[in-house]
Amino acid sequence: MSTIAAKDVMALREKTGLGMMDCKKALQENNGDMAAAESWLREKRKGKMDTRTERTTGEGRIGIAIDGPKAVIIELRTETDFTAKNDAFLTATDSVAGLALGQAAGDVEADDAINKHVDDLRITTGENVNFARGMRLDGGSYGSYIHHDGKRACLLQIEGDAPADALKGICQHIVFHDPMGIDADDVPAEKIESIRTAALAEAKESGKNDEIAGKMADGKVRKYLEENTLMAQKYVLDESMTVGDALGGDAKITAFIRYTLGG
């Protein structure tokens, strides 16, 4: 068996994140060839990790990448919070988001480049890791916010101009208030009708005439929209204004994506 220099073992360990003994064995099995040893390790370890894909992945992190008119939000999942907070996992999340920018607008697919990062994490962490989901947007400009634990995040798309701090604040609002849509146009007509019908029935049962009942029903609908649609909600950072006020008149929100880990 060939003699392997300690510096080569260390170099392979730094590249793969695996233990010294595993790296030494890989180099011995491949006559000191660094590239062949890395491939050998990957195949050996990947085979073991592929048998663990049924393990529950209840932890992970959300990543966002923005490049001019392109933006993406993605979610990587793993088994433990310890691994999700590891620097290697954070770096891989950012790398996967960057790779996803190269895909077409719409749902992000786990292609070979993304799967390589997932496999690397499986190999080095010993945990089941998977690419959970992602969405790529195109056009306009963006704001974003990732909560400090990496488990909640928002990507906001606008047309026009708005200050970066206002967009970040609106993303924070979305993360914490989870609006069902941008404005009333995003609320299904049947939902509005059911609220109105229930409010009319309640008002009439209490003895109100048709005119008063109609006004009360309109008020119920208006209150529902104020509480559940983004532009009408009270702004989380300043409840004296709405989100629409915080955005200002020079920009229009065209889309937002809110991710909660596992949601």
- Measured over the CA atoms of residue 153, residue 157, residue 158 and residue 161, the dihedral's sign is positive
Question: Rounded to 5 degrees, what are φ and ψ at 218?
Answer: -60, -40
Long-range CB contacts for residues 9-15, cutoff 8 Å, separation at least 24: 12/37, 12/38, 12/41
Rounded CA-CA distance 132/136 in Å is 14
- Domain match, 79 and 123 both: yes
Question: Rounded to 5 degrees, what are φ and ψ at 162?
Answer: -155, 150
Per-residue confidence band for 163, with pLDDT thresholds at 50, 70 and 90: very high
pTM of the shown model: 0.78
Question: Rounded to 5 degrees, what are φ and ψ at 161?
Answer: -120, 140
In a domain, 13, yes or no: yes
- Domain match, 77 and 154 both: yes
Domain carrying residue 99: 59-162+248-260
Q: What are the pLDDT digits (tens) for 114-133?
A: 998 998 888 888 888 999 99
HSE-up of residue 89 (Cα within 13 Å, Cβ side): 26
Q: Are 214 and 117 in contact (CB under 8 A)?
A: no
Q: What pLDDT shows up at residue 211? A: 86
Q: Any idea what the CATH number is for the domain that residue 35 is in?
A: 1.10.8.10
Q: What pLDDT shows up at residue 46? A: 64
